[in-house]
Amino acid sequence: MTDAADLGVERTLVLLKPDAVARGLAGRIITRFEDAALKIVGVKMKHMDSDFTRKHYFDLEERAGSVIYNTTANFMQSGPVIALALQGVDAVAKVRKIIGATFPDQAAPGTVRGDFAHQTKPSSEVSGKAIMNLVHASGNSEEAKYEVELWFGADEQFEYETIVEKFAY
């Protein structure tokens, strides 16, 4: 029997940001992940407080500066988010492909951001508001491991077999 890790099965974190929740897009976005054979192994809705936001975006201020960190933190704390731990073959890369480029005006049609997000980088800079791009997704395998463990305890992640796994693995 082949081990799932040998097949490139991994877990990643996706956050449906406050704009996705407020616009009622959660179901439509989640469907795209499930259609791509990614299974939900953890899900929760949460208001991010300042301490948790700092843990999640622990390196953003260093990478991008305090203005971008503060803008992002304020946006992420403006409403509830839905956190998903997703599992599948090459889950990190697959999710990144499904959601599209960070800036909605650069995201291809057919991606989450290309279809549902409409803000441009210049409009964000002029308004001083965070990029409303609907979704956060782990950028690489190491980040995914950190983020999944931050958001979900072992008792909040579930093991089960989907029909896709039964026939594909």
Give the number of domains in the chain. 1
- Residues of the chain above pLDDT 70, percent: 97
Rg (CA), the chain: 16
- Specify whether the CB–CB gap between 30 and 99 falls below 8 A: no
Instruction: Please name the residue that has the structure tokens 């990614």.
Output: 38
β 135-137/81-89 pair status? unpaired
In 3D space, the residue among 8, 17, 12, 14 whose CA is nearest the CA of residue 117 turns out to be: 17
Catalytically annotated residues: 136
Q: What is the pLDDT of residue 3?
A: 63
Residue 166 lies in a domain: no
User: 57 in a domain, yes or no?
Assistant: yes
What is the domain extent for residue 42? 4-159
Whether 169 maps to a domain, the answer reads no
pLDDT of 101 over the 70 cut: yes
Report the percent of the chain where pLDDT is more than 90.
82
- Name beta bridge partners: 45: 82
